[in-house]
Amino acid sequence: MRMLLNYRCAIKSKCDRSLVWFCLMTWAICLIVVGHGVQCTQASEAPVEFDSLQTSGKSHHQVVFESRRNGDFASTVFTVNPDGTDETRLSRHKTGRPAILDARVSWDGSLIAFTRGGSDHRTGVWVMNADGSGEREILAKVAIRFNGGWAKPSLSPDNKEMVYVSNLHGRDDIYRVSIEAKKPIRLTTNGEDNRLPYWSPDGQWIAYASKQGQNRNIMLMRPDGSESRAITTSDSDDTMPAWMPDSKGLLFVSDRDGPTELYLLSLDDGDVRRLSDTVDFHELYPTVSPDGTMIAFEARPFDAEASWMRSIYVMPFEGGPAEKLTSSRYLDTSPTWISISK
């Protein structure tokens, strides 16, 4: 109070005194309002507009997805900004060559792992550079179910190994392979339909979906296949796990509350929080942006006549409406994220 009186005494003009009293009254009103549970916010602290989230800093994030657009009915890979601009085609389908499926970007953003499916229902595992160049085959026709959408190969954080799905031994199991040595190791030996492996950003765990009894659960195991355990055990189908960038949580899809929605599981305390609440479509294959601010997912309409169509949507991670990102008349599927340096 003494400091405030000294400051007032230093003011010469009536105009300045009026300004000080105006500021003091505004400050007092805010204190009273806050005391009644309403937050006062300075103009500079206004909520960030959704479209500005992906353009701050020295890099921004793009969504990588597959599409059967352009009339060739074979999946090719595209990138697009989260506001729908700058859509770019990374790969092209070549006549007589199997289509790209199950594309997923490496954690450092330098590579894209994918599968190539053929008419014999057997699929090879491939990688290419993030700009679409340098395709190379890691394993040829490893009995992954063609166009099943379950393979989703995932690279280790150092890009030296990969996990993928194969039914080589009669059922879907998860395998690990060295990119250079190309010697597969079978990791899962229990449960059924062990699918959708996803290597954690810190390299410590592999998340996957597995049918345990009558329902599918989200599972964790070490990269050598040890310490396998279920981390969801609801009377529903929990599937399609996707890591948070800090490796402390997982997004997944579940029908525990009716139609499939997106959920977040905290690995620290096991808490599960519902993130979406849509009425027009099922959410599938969620993935989180590298900065943790946005979620991209594939949407399948409830309408049976349009259920063959797929679109990519994005939504703020902390809540808010989902925005439609792609609007082709064909399948737009398998979103994942990549950081683009400016």
Tens of pLDDT along 101-115? 889 999 999 999 988
Across the range 172-192, mean pLDDT stands at 89
Pairing of strands 272-274, 261-266: antiparallel
- For residues 40 and 6, which has the higher predicted lDDT (pLDDT)? 6
Q: Give the helix/strand (H/E) hosting 216.
A: strand 215-221
- Say if residues 91 and 103 touch (Cβ distance below 8 Å): no
Alpha carbon distance 142, 117 (integer Å): 10
Above pLDDT 70, what percent of the chain?
72
- Lowest model confidence (mean pLDDT) among 86-90, 243-247, 294-298, 303-307: 303-307
- Say if residues 233 and 215 touch (Cβ distance below 8 Å): no
Predicted confidence (pLDDT) at residue 145 exceeds the cutoff of 80: no
Mean pLDDT over each residue of the chain, to the nearest integer? 78
pLDDT band at 293 (very low <50, low <70, confident <90, very high): very high
pLDDT band at 25 (very low <50, low <70, confident <90, very high): very low
What integer pLDDT is reported at residue 303 of this predicted model?
Answer: 67
Tokens representing 282 are 């099922």
Across the range 216-223, mean pLDDT stands at 96
Instruction: Report phi then psi at 141, rounded to 5.
Output: 45, 75
* CATH 2.120.10.30 domain range(s) in the chain: 53-341
2: CB partners within 8 A, 6+ apart: none
What integer pLDDT is reported at residue 15 of this predicted model?
Answer: 38
Q: SS3 string of 261-328?
A: EEEEEECCCCCEEECCCCCCEEEEEEEECCCCCEEEEEEEECCHHHCCCEEEEEEECCCCCCEECCCC
Distance linking the first and last C-alpha atoms of the chain: 50
What integer pLDDT is reported at residue 158 of this predicted model?
Answer: 97
| In the block, residue with structure tokens 């599938």 | 284
pLDDT band at 280 (very low <50, low <70, confident <90, very high): confident
Alpha carbon distance 54, 294 (integer Å): 9
Alpha carbon distance 227, 261 (integer Å): 28
Predicted confidence (pLDDT) at residue 1 exceeds the cutoff of 60: no
Across the range 30-57, mean pLDDT stands at 33
Across the range 177-193, mean pLDDT stands at 88
CATH numeric code, 53-341: 2.120.10.30
Across the range 186-197, mean pLDDT stands at 90
Alpha carbon distance 211, 214 (integer Å): 7
Give tens-digit pLDDT for 124-137: 889 999 988 999 98
Across the range 38-44, mean pLDDT stands at 29
Helices (H) and strands (E) in the chain, counts: 2, 24
Q: What is this structure's pTM?
A: 0.78
Q: Give the helix/strand (H/E) hosting 72.
A: none
Q: Which of 302, 290, 294 is nearest to 275 (CA)?
A: 294
Predicted confidence (pLDDT) at residue 251 exceeds the cutoff of 90: yes
236: CB partners within 8 A, 6+ apart: 215, 254, 255, 256
Q: Tell me, rounded to whole angstroms, the distance of Cα 131 from its chain centroid.
A: 19
- For residues 153 and 145, which has the higher predicted lDDT (pLDDT)? 153
Tokens representing 248 are 């402390």
Alpha carbon distance 335, 315 (integer Å): 13
What integer pLDDT is reported at residue 37 of this predicted model?
Answer: 34
- Lowest model confidence (mean pLDDT) among 68-82, 130-144, 282-296: 68-82
| C-beta atoms surrounding 35 within 10 Å | 8
